[in-house]
Amino acid sequence: MKSNGGSVLKALMKKSRLERIYPFRRGNFDVIGFIIKIALTAAIIALFVVFFDKFADMYLSLETNWQLDIPTRSFELLTMLYGAVIVFMVVSGISQISREIFGADDVKMFSAMPVGSGALFGSKLISIYLGQFIVSIAITLSINLTLGIRILAGWQFYVVTAVICLLLPLITIAISSLLVIPYYRLKLLLKDRFVINFIIVSALLGVMFYLYAIVLDAIKQLLLGGSLKYFFDDKVMATIATMCKYLYPSRWIAGALMSAFETESWLGLILVTAACITLALVMIRLVLMRAMQSRNEGSDRSIRKHSGVSKGNNVFVALLKKEFLHIFRTPSYMFSCFSVAIIMPLMVYFCMTVASSLVQNLVGLEFNLELAVFLTILFGSLTNIFCATNISRDGYMFYVVKGFPISSKTVFLSKVVLCAIVTALSQLTSAILVSAMGYIPWYSGIFLFVVGMLFGLANILVATRYDFDHANFSTEDDGEIKESSNAVSVIILIGLVMSFTVGGAIFAFKAITQLRGANLEYMTYLLAGGLAVLFAALASVYMILGLKRKYYEFEGGNI
Amino acid sequence: MENVERQTVVKVNKLCKRYSKKAELAIKDVSFDCFAGEIVGLLGHNGAGKSTTLKCIEGMLPFESGEVSICGYDIKKEPLKAKANMGFVTDNHAVFIKMTGIEYISLMATIYNVPNDVREERLKKLEDIFQLGDAIHNLISSYSHGMRQKVCMMASLIHEPMLWILDEPMTGLDPRTMRAVREFMREYAESGHCIIFSSHALSSVAMICDRVVLIRKGHQISDINIKELMQQDPDFDFEEYFLKSETDDSEDASANGDGEQEGTDEK
């Protein structure tokens, strides 16, 4: 007897709900981490709203042929934004579908049960839809409420906004399910080709960050008195108009929002939704089911040259190698650890080029060293977020390692030292780049490296210990962590607080002393250096306090 | 009973373990000794507390009270020395799946300080038994359950431990390997080592074990020398004995008003 889709969905939803509330039921839910996660998300949305509001204010005041045209500017703004939102949601949809269909263990389990594959896939898509619906609400409301208030939109605008919240994930998931097979094939092609994977991912990240630097430069122009207006000359505006004319389906969304009773946009939206869903269903029937079954068969490809048992004698080095291989051979870990660490110096450099002149123009003083210290700590912290999974990454193997004759010191040291090596290489490149480009003298470059390293070490130690105290092991077969934990949010917050506290202190001190005519440049070295030593010392104490006892008494991980 | 003094490899004394402060004891007052040259089976139904007992012996889980010593080393006071004398295979074939089979075995050889000059020879011997073939050079993530079980066994034996602990060792193995493993276990024990393995498969236990420790709802209900019993009574039916001991125990429990929940919540 076959179960229907409704009961499968109900079962899946119940399973997912139980998994989410499991830490509650066990009584070890990380409340602080959860609150910080929510607060960070709210802060990001608030930051976006502030910048978008400022940009919208400038963009709506642009004139074409010496005339204000707020409805057209609003239409263009919405078309471009929804174009970006659709791309974002399609990409995240592809990743979610791929994970749910080809990565989740329950598919294997349900495949062996009397559950139709169509119903199984359908129910998976509905649960993904519900997740995307929440994202859609957050994004759509942020954009539409900000713009709606600014252009004094009527009630129709808000009614259409509600409809778009429902329709948007439907369109994007349908498009995602069409693209998931090529994505999966590409993933299979790159599977086990770790070096190629690493190069491609790092290059893509580099390009993305270059584009981000361009956006940062535009924000700088905006902050320096609205000169960004001059960027939008007649030629640029004509290009934007042409682009918006052909940017489907986002131009239909914008059209429906700006003119609720416009037939063309509604017709287009309904047709594109229906076409996407139909095509997606055909695709599911023809290709995805087969791919899902082939995934269950697994692969058996040799990836290494044949070698004998290795001759190493050093347990610490062996654990270090194990840690490296674990990260390097898991694409998501490799991206979060190595690729981000490679790109970190570029982040510092790009931001330095933008912020150096910005600060000089705004304050009238040169703050290059202070800026370099601030950016190094900030991006160093963001690079070390990965360390917030240092323990959870091991999953059940953390228990197995406890059964080996290895001291707790060696286990933790191998994790911390690998992260420290990655941080050291990243910080060194960053310091060389900033000094070589002439922003700071060479001796300040050395100072920058030492300070960056000490703060990096503090990050690593705090992240590792926090993760140990709040470990959350994956229950998937491959043990891979697919969702960011509360520990990640806590470490982001600590990193932000640390960088803004230190950055703020050295900026304020230099500004006050210079305005009073005193040149106490050595105080920047003293203050930043002193705080770096203090943070590193505090983090070391936090890391080692009761560690040995807690290691032998460890029963966490929520598994 | 032989009067020859045998080397005690494992000593478990009044072991008690609970998973959280509010929970019932998952195992209560479990005590047994294991000697060199012996295969001891830990028998009980699902959730009886077999895996919990083994994990406490392995040092994977802390325990409330009692003592565990391996080759004379207390697992709490001298954990590294105690653990150096054992090799173990967990019930869920846990292994670092992003390593190849050979990389994982090499890691174990280093962790257990196996001399370089004997590594290749030991590996060859293990390859002959477990027949993993060229797959040993593949990533473990591409292995089937049976292959993972094999690589776990090989890695746990690379240092030729005095104590070999196996939690449900036959799960996922093909019949040929199962027989090879059984033969190897016998051979390994006869060469002076000690093996403890958990199972709820009566046939495997009866076939391999010298002694059997029966556990039910976290309580040890008996410790019998199955080989002796079989020698004394050729018609001895182990299945019958096991089922009877279970019934007796539940009758005792109801007579004593013992309403203890199963609550083992095994990891």
The pLDDT tens digits for A147-169 are 888 888 788 888 888 888 888 88
Distance (Å, whole) CA A70 – CA A57: 10
To the nearest whole angstrom, how far is the Cα of B231 from the nearest Cα of chain A?
37
Burial class, B233, CB count within 10 angstroms (exposed 0-12 / middle 13-18 / buried 19+): exposed
Res A230: pLDDT: 66
pLDDT at A145 over 70: yes
Range from A212-216, A255-259, A262-266, B87-91 that averages highest in pLDDT: B87-91
Residue A290 tokens read as 């087969």
Read off the pLDDT of each residue in A432-458 and give the average, rounded to a whole number.
93
Does B98 contact A312 at a Cβ distance shorter than 8 Å?
no
Specify whether the CB–CB gap between A420 and A457 falls below 8 A.
yes
User: Measured between beta carbons, which residues in chain A are less than 8 angstroms from residue B110?
Assistant: 310, 312-315, 318
Q: Which residue has the higher pLDDT, B149 or A122?
A: B149
Q: Identify the DSSP state of A472.
A: B
pLDDT at site A199: 87
The angle that helices A31-60 and A117-151 make with each other, rounded to 10 degrees, is 50
- pLDDT category of residue A452 using cuts at 50, 70 and 90: very high
Inter-chain contacts counted by CB atoms under 8 A, chains A and B = 123
Alpha carbon A423 to its chain's center? 19
- Higher per-residue pLDDT: A558 or A136: A136
B110 vs A479: CB contact, 8 Å cut-off? Answer: no
Neighbours of A11 (CB within 10 A): 16
Q: How many CA atoms lie within 13 A of A505 on its CB side?
A: 16
For the entire predicted model, the pTM comes to 0.79
Q: In chain B, which segments carry CATH 3.40.50.300?
A: 1-85+162-267
Test A403 with B19 for CB contact under 8 angstroms: no
Q: Distance (Å, rounded) from C-alpha A251 to C-alpha A259?
A: 12
Look-up: residue for tokens 């009886």? B48
Residue of B nearest to A557 (CA): B267
Q: Is the dihedral of CA A253, A259, A260, A265 positive or negative?
A: negative
Cβ-contact B167, B198 below 8 angstroms = yes
Least CA distance to B110: which residue of chain A?
Answer: A313
Cis peptide before A249, with omega less than 30 degrees from 0?
Answer: yes
Q: Flag if A405 and B107 touch (Cβ within 8 Å).
A: no
Distance from CA of A380 to the nearest CA of B (A): 27
pLDDT of A111 reads 64
Helix and strand totals (H; E) in chain B: 9, 10
Selection from A224, A222, A516, A514 nearest residue A362 by Cα: A224
pLDDT tens per residue, range A282-306: 776 666 666 665 554 444 454 556 6
> CA-nearest residue of chain B to A295?
B142
pLDDT score of A309: 73
Lowest-pLDDT choice from A100-104, A275-279, A487-491, A543-547: A100-104
CA A390 to chain centre: 18
Distance of alpha carbon B186 from alpha carbon A90, whole angstroms: 58
Pairwise CA distance, residues A129 & B89, whole Å: 41
Q: pLDDT value at position A286?
A: 67
Does A406 contact B80 at a Cβ distance shorter than 8 Å? yes
**Chain A residues close to B123, C-beta within 8 Å:** 308-309
Specify the DSSP class assigned to residue A555: -
Partner residue facing A309 (CB), from B98, B99, B105? B105
* Inter-chain CB proximity B102 and A308 less than 8 Å: yes
In a mutational test of the A interface, the residue from B83, B111, B125, B265 whose CB has the highest number of chain A CBs within 10 Å is B111
In angstroms, what CA-CA distances link A509 with A370, A451, A518? 10, 18, 11
What is the maximum alpha-carbon separation in chain A?
Answer: 86
Nearest by CB to A405, from B83, B90, B105: name it: B83
The residue of B78, B86, B95, B97 whose CB has the most chain A CBs within 10 angstroms, and thus the best one to mutate to test that interface, is B97
A348 Cα distance to chain centroid: 18
Mean pLDDT of all residues in A430-453: 92
The pLDDT tens digits of the residues spanning A67-77 come to 777 888 888 88
Instruction: Give the tens place of pLDDT for each residue, A194-206.
Output: 888 888 888 888 8
Percentage of chain A exceeding pLDDT 70:
83
Q: How far apart are CA A80 and CA B95, in angstroms?
A: 48
Say how far residue B143 (Cα) sits from the centre of its chain.
23
Q: What is the pLDDT of residues B39-81, one digit of tens each?
A: 999 888 888 888 999 999 999 999 999 999 999 999 999 999 9
**Maximum CA pair distance of chain B?**
61
CATH topology of domain B1-85+162-267: Rossmann fold (3.40.50)
Closest CA to A115 of A278, A292, A282: A292
Please report how many Cα atoms fall inside a 13 Å half-sphere around the Cα of residue A14, on the Cβ side. 6
The pLDDT assigned to B166 comes to 92
* A471-496 pLDDT tens trace: 888 776 666 776 667 788 888 888 88
Q: Quick one: pLDDT band at residue A512, thresholds 50, 70, 90?
A: confident
List of chain A residues whose C-beta atoms are within 8 Å of the C-beta of residue B70:
none
- Cβ–Cβ below 8 Å for A555 and B102: no
ipTM: 0.88
User: Measured between alpha carbons, how far is B130 from B150 in angstroms, rounded to an integer?
Assistant: 6
Residues of A in contact with B81 (CB under 8 A): 405
Do A397 and B94 lie within an 8 Å CB cutoff? yes
**Measured between CA atoms, how close is B242 to chain A, in angstroms?**
31
> Do residue B134 and residue A306 have CB atoms under 8 angstroms apart?
yes
> Is the pLDDT confidence value at A355 over 90?
no
Tokens of B264: 């083992």
Q: With CB atoms and an 8 Å threshold, state whether B110 touches A313.
A: yes
pLDDT of residue A3 exceeding 60, the answer is no
CA distance A539 to chain B (A): 27
Query: Residue A306: which of B94, B119, B137 has the nearest Cβ?
Result: B137
Whether B96 and A404 lie within 8 Å, measured CB to CB: no
Query: What's the pLDDT at A298?
Result: 46
Task: Collect all residues of chain B within an 8 Å Cβ-Cβ radius of residue A310.
Answer: 103, 106, 109-110
Backbone angles phi, psi at A200, to 5 degrees: -60, -50
Q: What is the pLDDT of residue B257?
A: 38
Interface test with B, best of A404, A411, A477 (most B CBs within 10 A): A404
Reduced to 3 states, what is the DSSP secondary structure of residue A483? coil
Output the pLDDT for position A299.
47
A405/B81 touch (CB, cutoff 8 Å), yes or no = yes
Per residue of chain B (267 residues), give pLDDT as tens.
Answer: 444 567 899 999 999 998 877 778 888 889 999 999 999 998 888 888 889 999 999 999 999 999 999 999 999 999 999 999 999 999 888 899 989 999 999 999 999 999 988 999 999 999 988 888 888 999 998 888 888 989 999 999 999 999 999 998 887 778 888 888 888 999 999 999 999 988 877 777 878 888 888 888 878 777 778 777 777 777 777 777 777 776 665 544 444 433 333 333 333
Q: Kind of pairing, strands A67-68 and B73-74?
A: unpaired
DSSP H/E element including B87: strand B86-89
Q: Which of A77, A79, A44, A41 is nearest to A59 (CA)?
A: A77
Q: Note the pLDDT of residue B250.
A: 52
* In the predicted structure, residue A537 carries a pLDDT above the cut 60: yes
Chain A residues with CB inside 8 Å of B20's CB? 26-27
Q: What is the pLDDT of residue B260?
A: 37
- Give the residue on B whose Cα is nearest the Cα of A302: B138
Q: Which of A325, A405, A552 minimises the CB distance to B62?
A: A552
> Residues A531, A532, A534, CA angle at the centre, nearest 5°?
60
